[in-house]
Amino acid sequence: MGIVEKAKEFETRKLKFKNTSDRILASREVKDLILGVNEVYKKKKDQKLMDLMKRLTVIKQKIEKRLKGRPLTAA
């Protein structure tokens, strides 16, 4: 399976991560997928690949936001 197919499969996968280690693994996986799609994009310059990278980046940001947790408010 090529990198683009893996990226599309990751995008359609349910993003239910039970614990922190699952989130960390997912974050690393999506980062690798984004970098791989970027290498293909550099050669082909296909706008669909850029759109795929943008969607994966949004997913990655959501995962990382959840990893960081909520900031504590000073009372």
Q: Are 26 and 63 in contact (CB under 8 A)?
A: yes
What pLDDT is recorded for position 10?
83
For residues 25 and 31, give the distance between their C-alpha atoms in angstroms, rounded to a whole number. Answer: 10
What pLDDT is recorded for position 32?
92
Task: Write down the pTM of the prediction.
Answer: 0.77
From first to last of its 75 residues, what are the pLDDT tens digits of the chain? 688 888 888 888 877 777 888 888 888 889 999 999 899 999 988 899 899 899 999 988 888 888 887 776 665
What pLDDT is recorded for position 69?
75
